[in-house]
Structure 1
């Protein structure tokens, strides 16, 4: 009996490639702006505060620029392309992860990433259309509040906390690992471009990991104290870092790392094959 997978049409590689590159570029824009706004808030430049240094604040920043609605609309389309690519990665296994437990776990991670960015694409589109999408509260506080109202709510919030902290540690480990470095070195890039990309990726993954660790820690406090107000997203994480000893320098370093992650996304879109 013929393999049923041969009967399923696959997406044209170039079509997937173009959508992935646009999506990675849009993600790079978002992370560069988040990093810039966080850096400005760290050193009180331009009256910027940590409250506006999250994704919603970044979209609002874009909206306030000349032709802001058009620019934010382009970002929304780019993020939608990123979502589509993530789902194609998960469903068609374009990275050849396989169907064993490890492969399925990675493909589920791609799908989960797609769902997260689908929400961001929707938020950006809503704000670009003038529907006030950026006026809501902290989505993570809302999540913590909803979970705390369920049976075993504190345990559920604790599970989210542990999962987020593990994800943060995994990001930091990935920044030091050889996994993404091997992919970069296998493409035959010029040595200076290769080195820049590896360093940007390392700084970016570590910075993202630190932010996720702080978010996980805040969820853990919310679970222990049964208080959803102690949970928060990236803006609260930035405020937490800023309040620490030498907080401005700590937040500034993390902000630069997030900018590096954005640069890494741009370089990945330009230099690395995204469909294998």
Structure 2
């Protein structure tokens, strides 16, 4: 009889790790492009405007590049891989969050993230297959309109607004407190690489949180005025920031932060251990 102490467990499924790394890379591409276009819009470089910096319009930017449909198809596949990885994290609890209220809440965030990027992957895939830029409708404006049609619609939109604002505040807190350092430090990286990752993540999460908070504020305005046109996505958030005092500098700073977030995704894809 074999000694059980000599048993060697099979390695974790490599395909999950590949999905995660491919997905993180695709997400990094999207955020870097969003940040670059938003920065160009802030200082009126190359005729770019804030409407060009939304995620859906970034997909159109990729499509307009040489061999754009091929590149967009790769990005769409990467975003789909990222969404699948998020669903695996939620269902299989690969991060050991547990089944308590706090753990379930975090796993539900993985599901929400997966749904967002699955929708973006679907939009990109549809653009590749149709060879066009697809619908120009703002998905968040459409969501607000659908909610306002329901009983207690303004309250529903208001609840969504508060949820988005809380998400934004948490992103800023998550970045400022450097709570993500545990994942970075678990990779056994060189001190210089680890420091760069932590710094890029801190700026990136805080910039992302600001965008989420502005989107939540726009949803709150839609709820108060009962007008879906007040709601909007990232491009509307960029326009809001640009229209404020010292708007170009504020938008430029947030845009650079989003580029940092994209770089952080690249570094996570290369260095961070993926739990499977």
Query: Fold-level match, TM-score > 0.5?
Result: yes
Match of 2:172 in 1: 172
Query: How far 1:130 sits from its partner (Å)?
Result: 2.3
Mark the runs of 5 or more structure 2 residues left unpaired by the alignment: 1-9
Match of 1:21 in 2: 21
Retained in 1: the 8 A contact 2:178–2:202? no
Query: How far 1:15 sits from its partner (Å)?
Result: 1.2
Query: How far 1:41 sits from its partner (Å)?
Result: 0.5
1:171-207 per-residue CA deviation (whole Å, 9 max, x = no partner) reads 0000012421122123221111111100100011000
Query: How far 1:230 sits from its partner (Å)?
Result: 0.8
Quickly say closer, same or farther: Cα 1:181–1:12, change in 2 above 3 A.
Answer: closer
2:39 maps to 1:60 = no
Match of 2:102, SS state, is helix
Match of 2:66, SS state, is coil
Quickly say closer, same or farther: Cα 1:250–1:195, change in 2 above 3 A.
Answer: same
Quickly say closer, same or farther: Cα 1:223–1:183, change in 2 above 3 A.
Answer: same
Quickly say closer, same or farther: Cα 1:11–1:190, change in 2 above 3 A.
Answer: closer
Match of 2:163 in 1: 163
Q: Distance in 2 between matches of 1:50 and 1:134?
A: 19
Match of 2:85 in 1: 85
Query: How far 1:161 sits from its partner (Å)?
Result: 0.6
What is the root-mean-square deviation of aligned Cα atoms in Å?
1.4
Match of 2:3 in 1: none
Match of 1:5 in 2: none
Retained in 2: the 8 A contact 1:42–1:252? yes
Q: Distance in 1 between matches of 2:113 and 2:273?
A: 19
2:143 maps to 1:146 = no
Normalised TM-score (structure 2): 0.94
Match of 1:203 in 2: 203
Query: How far 1:107 sits from its partner (Å)?
Result: 1.1
Match of 1:101 in 2: 101
Quickly say closer, same or farther: Cα 1:90–1:247, change in 2 above 3 A.
Answer: same
Query: How far 1:131 sits from its partner (Å)?
Result: 5.2
Q: Distance in 1 between matches of 2:186 and 2:219?
A: 39
1:1-276 matches, within 5 Å, as 12-130=12-130, 132=132, 134-275=134-275
Query: How far 1:11 sits from its partner (Å)?
Result: 10
Retained in 2: the 8 A contact 1:200–1:261? yes
1:14-47 per-residue CA deviation (whole Å, 9 max, x = no partner) reads 1110110000000000000000110010011111
Retained in 1: the 8 A contact 2:60–2:133? no
Q: Which shifted more, 177-186 or 219-228? A: 177-186
